[in-house]
Amino acid sequence: MKKIIGFLSIFAVLIIMSCAGKPAETKKEIIVVPAAPVIIIKEPVQKPTTITLDKNGVKVETKKTDVVIKKQ
């Protein structure tokens, strides 16, 4: 009976010691890298805008403009 009580007390002490430890702290590092700026090169409009004024009012016509954005 004394052996069983001795083993139980040693076992209880070991369990208490193993559970009493603090958990390991983890640190996370976040690296923020700024994005490269996008350079937009705009060529002059080659397709003209037409404005017509008559007795019915003002009529404005433009041709379709193509826009291209290139990454460097």
Query: Tens digits of per-residue pLDDT, 55-66?
Result: 888 888 777 767
The verdict on residue 69 lying in a domain is no
Question: Is residue 70 in a domain?
Answer: no
In this prediction, residue 20 has a pLDDT band, given cuts at 50, 70 and 90, of low
* pTM score: 0.30
Q: Where does the pLDDT of residue 27 fall: very low under 50, low under 70, confident under 90, or very high at 90 and above?
A: confident
- 8 in any annotated domain: yes
Domain ranges, residue 51: 2-62
Q: Bridge-partner residues for 59, per DSSP?
A: 52
Q: Is residue 49 part of a domain?
A: yes
Flag whether 42 is in a domain. yes
Cα 66 to Cα 42: distance, rounded to the nearest angstrom: 10
Q: What is the pLDDT of residues 36-52, one digit of tens each?
A: 877 777 776 566 777 78
Largest CA distance in the chain: 118
- Look at residue 47 in the predicted model and tell me its pLDDT: 64
Count of structural domains within the chain: 1
